[in-house]
Structure 1
Amino acid sequence: MARSSIQTYIKDNTALYVFVGVLFVMGVIFGALMVNALSMEQQQDLSRFVGSFVSSIETGGDTQQRETFFQVFGMHMKWIMLIWLLGISVIGLPLILILDFLKGVMVGFTVGYLVGEMSWKGMLFALVSVAPQNLIIIPALMIASVSGIAFSMYMVRNRIMQKRGALAEPFMSYSALTLGISALLLGISLFEAYVSPVLMRWVTPMLG
């Protein structure tokens, strides 16, 4: 039964996943292109920021790791809760798509800048600092986004058909999925706070 429900869900939402995926990729491309539009002063400011960030990684301790965890988890929760809230509001559908595009821009800009600034060393740094957690975060946000869009569209159809009480079960399923993704992001936040710095400290001597 569960397998059948999953297959039905995927079949019904394939077009949405493709659309959200394409939108995210467009964001990544746009973010990477933004790097070339930076002025010399902006590039210098970013270089100083990256240098300061690398230095903080090398000297970071348990206190900094705890602070990083709360900051990262708080950021992920704000993002996922915003998607959830937009999903239960009919007018929030286009804003969910904008969030997906912006997430792509953030990833594309970060990787594009590191590679443009440090060449293969930047790619290596991106592989340990950006790629691992985003392999989980991006699919999780895409699932949350598609679920939010699907629920928002369902609400529109439900209101047009005037069916009272028909929203309860879809709403509970949507909220349960959001809670599950939140738990996943909790684990990812722990990885970002306690494992990623170790990987980055291993790589930073190679950055020269």
Structure 2
Amino acid sequence: MNIVNKLNSKFRENKMLYILVLVFFCIGIVLGTYTIKYMNTSDTTDLSNYFTTFINSLGDKPIDKKILFIDILKKNIVIIILILMLSFTIIGSPIILLVDLFKGFTLGYTFSFLITTFSGKGIWIALASIIPQNIFYIPFFIGISIISIEMSSIKLKEKFLNKGTKNNIFSNELLIKLGFLFCLFVVGVIIETFICPNLIKFISSKLY
């Protein structure tokens, strides 16, 4: 019960921070969703041909899970390192929010593109290729963003408001939170590597 009370207290203290991160992430999704409507016809056609070729090729040859796993890590690790590095700077908070905006944008853009390009079939491809892993990725990125903004805010307060006092930001509670969040990330990577390709292959074999 103490843990629940502690979490509730922490949420109330940083309620505006949670709202800000969620708002920027959601704005990114909306911007990504609407951007697809204003793309040039040639760009849309090129992307459509690329995705169609990629989806059709899934049934022709086995997927190299090792290469896929490495590509997924490369895709995410840059953003994770950037967010964590920004947590150690006094100007990290607004930049982290922009990173969340970009992350939401890519998610909304990809989802909207698949649905728009493949019409009715697109919803199933989008659900199979985007939703499963992002059930875990989204809480992970929102969580580390909030933690990183909190740490950046502490740095800012130490520099300008409370120069004489140094807060210990590396508490056991923080390490537990980070450990839990990275577990979510690992689960997301496993799903994207081993489950999503099989889902896409199954759906593409039924629809194409």
- Write out aligned runs for 1:132-147 (5 A): 132-147=132-147
Letter in 2 for 1:118: F
| 1:161–1:36 distance in 2 versus 1, CA, 3 Å | same
Are 1:31 and 2:32 matched, yes or no?
A: yes
Residue 12 (str. 1) matches residue 16 (str. 2)? no
Matched, 1:125 2:100: no
Q: Which amino acid aligns with 1:188?
A: G
CA distance in 2, matches of 1:137, 1:168: 24
Contact kept in structure 2, 1:151 and 1:174, CA below 8 Å: no
CA displacement, residues 38-64 of structure 1 (integer Å, 9 cap, x when unaligned): 1121012101210222133223435x1
Structure 1 residue 164: deviation in Å?
4.1
**Equivalent position of 1:40 in the other structure:** 41
- 4+ residue stretches of structure 1 with deviation over 6 A? none
In structure 2, the CA distance between the partners of 1:77 and 1:181, relative to structure 1 (3 Å rule), is: farther
- Unaligned stretches of 5+ residues in structure 2: none
Q: Is the 8 A contact 1:80 1:182 kept in 2?
A: no
Alpha-carbon offset, residue 179 of structure 1: 4.3
Residue type matched to 1:12 in 2?
E
| Equivalent AA in structure 1 for residue 87 of structure 2 | G
- The residue type paired with residue 28 of structure 2 is G
The answer for the alignment partner of 1:21 in structure 2 is 22
| Equivalent position of 1:91 in the other structure | 91
Query: Under a length normalisation based on structure 1, what TM-score does the superposition of the two structures give?
Result: 0.90
In 2, Cα distance between equivalents of 1:147 and 1:153? 10
> In structure 2, what residue type is equivalent to 1:120?
G
TM-score by length of 2: 0.90
How far, CA to CA, are the matches of 1:9 and 1:92 in structure 2? 21
Percent identity between the aligned chains?
A: 23
Q: Distance in 1 between matches of 2:111 and 2:186?
A: 24
1:173-184 aligned at under 5 Å gives the runs: 173-174=173-174, 177-184=177-184
**Are the counterparts in 2 of residues 20 and 100 from structure 1 also a CA contact under 8 Å?**
yes
Instruction: Answer yes or no: is the 8 Å Cα contact 2:83–2:148 preserved in 1.
Output: yes
How much does 1:65 deviate?
A: 1.1
In structure 2, distance between residues paired with 1:83 and 1:176? 18
Higher fraction of helix: 1
Deviations 1:86-105 (A, max 9, x none): 11111121110111111111
Could you say what secondary structure the match of 1:88 adopts? coil
* 5+ long unaligned stretches in structure 1: none
Paired residues of 1:90 and 1:153 also in contact (CA < 8 A): yes
Map 1:197-208 → 2, pairs under 5 A? 197-208=197-208
Report the equivalent of 2:105: 105
